[in-house]
């Protein structure tokens, strides 16, 4: 059972999220659901209290709340409990708050108008510690990050770690990164953990933004475009990640 705390200043939103999450699994014969909402908070201060009280697997938290907002609540919760997995609810209305929540350690983002299936899957992913990146949200977050904080390449990263970080930057899961680079999933996890430790990152969402801030994703795109004589229809960083992996998969591990 995945235990969840929902924080939003609107009672109707909290009730809707609870209903969507707790309905998961009940359609099966004899099903009792796989997600339990153990607490609801109307503001960030209450979210912090409930996190301390229940130690839920996942917190689903609105950014804009009275008394203590979602960004500050995220900071306080992670300061006292670094293992907490926080998913932010957003409407795209405030990029600054989205980026601040990411910097504070939020694992990922959901749109308030996402489907019930998407919300349930996001909570499952968060509970399992899997990457949770809505591409449209990430683009906005990265845009602000690049405008505010361009980074130089850390000398501590190995060549293979840079390759893995590039693929994390486009939101690929470990299995797909392993397939692109022709290495095992366990090896990918080792490299991801090393990158996060060296750069002081809490989660893959932060790692993805760092990859963009370092210019790794754009560099992969430019390199492939130059080799192919320019951009082709439908070219995306995700496609470039595939080319990167296929082209460099024989390099040392």
What pTM did the predictor assign? 0.72
> Would you state the structure tokens that stand for residue 187, as one six-digit string?
């090896």
Do residues 138 and 90 make contact, with C-beta atoms less than 8 angstroms apart? no
> Would you state the structure tokens that stand for residue 178, as one six-digit string?
């392993």
DSSP tag of 132:
B
Confidence of residue 101 (pLDDT cuts 50, 70, 90): confident
Place of tokens 């977050």: 141
Measured between alpha carbons, how far is 13 from 16 in angstroms, rounded to an integer?
Answer: 5
Domains (range + CATH), the chain: 2-146 (3.40.50.2300), 159-248 (1.10.10.10)
Q: What is the pLDDT of residues 214-244, one digit of tens each?
A: 888 776 556 555 555 443 233 344 444 444 4
Give residues with Cβ within 8 angstroms of 169, minimum separation 6: 207, 208, 210, 211, 212, 216, 217, 237, 241
DSSP sequence for 187-246: HHHHHHHHHHHHHT-SSHHHHHHHHHHTTHHHHHHHHHHHHTTS--TT--HHHHHHHHHH
Based on the number of CB atoms within 10 Å of its own CB, is 221 exposed (0-12), middle (13-18) or buried (19 or more)?
buried
Q: What is the pLDDT of residues 154-199, one digit of tens each?
A: 999 999 999 999 988 877 889 999 999 999 999 999 999 999 999 9
- C-alpha distance across the termini of the chain, in Å: 38
SS3 of 156, please? coil
Confidence of residue 87 (pLDDT cuts 50, 70, 90): very high
Q: Dmax over Cα atoms in the chain, in whole Å? A: 58
Report the half-sphere exposure of 250 (CA within 13 A, side-chain side): 1
Do residues 192 and 164 make contact, with C-beta atoms less than 8 angstroms apart? yes
More confident call, 138 vs 197: 197
| Phi, psi of 132, deg, nearest 5 | -130, 95
């Amino acid at each position: 059972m995945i235990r969840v705390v929902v924080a939003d200043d609107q009672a109707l939103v909290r009730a809707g999220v609870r209903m969507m999450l707790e309905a998961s699994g009940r359609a099966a014969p004899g099903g009792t659901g796989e997600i339990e909402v153990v607490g609801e908070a109307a503001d960030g201060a209450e979210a912090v209290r409930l996190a301390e009280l229940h130690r839920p697997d996942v917190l689903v938290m609105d950014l804009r709340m009275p008394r203590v907002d979602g960004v500050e609540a995220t900071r306080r919760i992670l300061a006292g409990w670094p293992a907490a997995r926080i998913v932010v609810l957003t409407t795209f209305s405030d990029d600054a708050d989205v980026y601040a929540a990411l910097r504070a350690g939020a694992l990922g983002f959901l749109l308030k108008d996402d489907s019930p299936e998407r919300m349930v899957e996001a909570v499952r992913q968060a509970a399992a510690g899997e990457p949770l990146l809505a591409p449209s949200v990430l683009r906005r977050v990265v845009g602000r990050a690049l405008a505010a904080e361009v980074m130089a390449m850390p000398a501590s990263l190995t060549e293979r770690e840079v390759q893995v970080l590039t693929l994390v930057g486009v939101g690929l899961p470990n299995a797909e990164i392993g397939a692109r680079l022709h290495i095992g999933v366990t090896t990918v996890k080792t490299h991801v953990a090393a990158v996060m430790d060296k750069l002081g990152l809490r989660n893959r969402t932060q790692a993805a933004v760092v990859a963009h801030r370092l210019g790794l994703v754009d560099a992969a795109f430019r390199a492939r475009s130059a080799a192919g004589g320019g951009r082709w229809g439908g070219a995306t960083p995700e496609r470039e990640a595939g080319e990167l992996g296929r082209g460099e998969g024989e390099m040392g591990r």
